[in-house]
Amino acid sequence: MQIDALKRVLVLLGFVSLLLPTSTSNAHGDKLPMKKGILLVAFGSTIPEAQVAFENIDRSVKKVFPGIPVRWAYTSRIIIRKLAEQGKHLSTPEEVLSDMMRENFTHVAVQSLHTIPGQEFHGLVKNVHRFAGMSKGLKRVIVGYPLLATTEDLHRVAEAMLTIIPKERKKKDAVVFMGHGTHHPANVYYAALAYRLKKSDANIFVGTVEGWPEIDDIRADLKKRRIRKAYLMPFMSVAGDHARNDMAGPEPDSWKSILEKEGIECVPVLKGTAEFQEFVDIWVDHLRIAVDHFR
Ligand code: CO
């Protein structure tokens, strides 16, 4: 029967088009089927406990994007070198993207696991975009925003920060978050976050190790408010060297020592943001936007 034959052809065509997803061609005209990948990029940490945080993100990403291979890379050259001395090899984003090119990936979503769109983020964007459009290279490379990018993120991050404060903290106790801080213009995010948090709770403070506000600004504010007790919490993905030493360490210039000298009892909390699902969900949502841009 003619109609049956036609139906068979249509079914066959439908089947074939399913088997042949969007193709991309290289300089020699070879067709590459669409192959999606995810590259998660963190600053890196020498602290073994950081692995717990990274594994938590890895699990969440694989759950949300089943079937898309997930790779990892790190942007800190110092950390890569330090771990190499211990015999541990960490890859840079450029190394991983080069591998992915060879493995015929066509579309890669690169998710920045940084906190603000500062130097590490902008350097990442600059480098990974060079991998798109090369001959025999990747067709699309899309970078997902770090934790804090939009005003909406600012509200969401602030809400997440409020939820991770230890339950035993009383309203009159201060909570001092330690951000990394930077000379990059994106340092303003810390002040924006401090302003947003203050609207929810006047005894919450945000300072930075390498930017502004500094611990001296926080100390003055705590004194003004006659604070007797403060919870010290890192606002960094990993409770690494800065949290353990600059925030909670025994040296006289640690935040704990500086505030204790003012008679303020300090309770350090050594947990990075990547250990809390509230923050991981924000990174994952940013990755989702990047993956949704594949075409
Ligand atoms: Co640092």
User: Residue 163 is part of a domain; what is its CATH number?
Assistant: 3.40.50.1400
Rounded distance between C-alpha atoms, residue 271 and residue 206, angstroms: 16
Rounded distance between C-alpha atoms, residue 108 and residue 70, angstroms: 10
Say which residue the tokens 């898309």 belong to. Answer: 68
Enter the pTM of the model.
Answer: 0.88
Q: Do 261 and 217 have their domain in common?
A: yes
262 in Cβ contact with 220 (< 8 Å): no
Cα dihedral sign for 259, 265, 268, 269?
negative
pLDDT, mean over the chain: 91
Q: Do 42 and 186 have their domain in common?
A: no
**Is residue 101 one of the residues assigned to a domain?**
yes
Longest CA span, the chain: 94
- The whole domain housing 202 covers 151-272
Ligand 1 centroid – CA 114 distance (Å): 12
Q: Do 22 and 143 have their domain in common?
A: yes
Mean per-residue pLDDT, 166-180: 98
**Is residue 241 one of the residues assigned to a domain?**
yes
Ligand 1 centroid – CA 120 distance (Å): 11
Q: Which residues are catalytic?
A: 180
Q: What is the dihedral of CA 287, 292, 156, 69, to 10 degrees?
A: -20
Query: pLDDT tens across 235-289, in order?
Result: 999 999 999 999 999 999 999 999 999 999 999 999 999 999 999 999 999 999 9
pLDDT score recorded for residue 13: 40
Confidence of residue 11 (pLDDT cuts 50, 70, 90): very low
Rounded distance between C-alpha atoms, residue 29 and residue 265, angstroms: 68
pLDDT above 60 (res 166): yes
Say which residue the tokens 């929810």 belong to. Answer: 200
Query: pLDDT tens across 105-147, in order?
Result: 999 999 999 999 999 999 999 999 999 988 888 999 999 999 9
Ligand 1 centroid – CA 118 distance (Å): 13
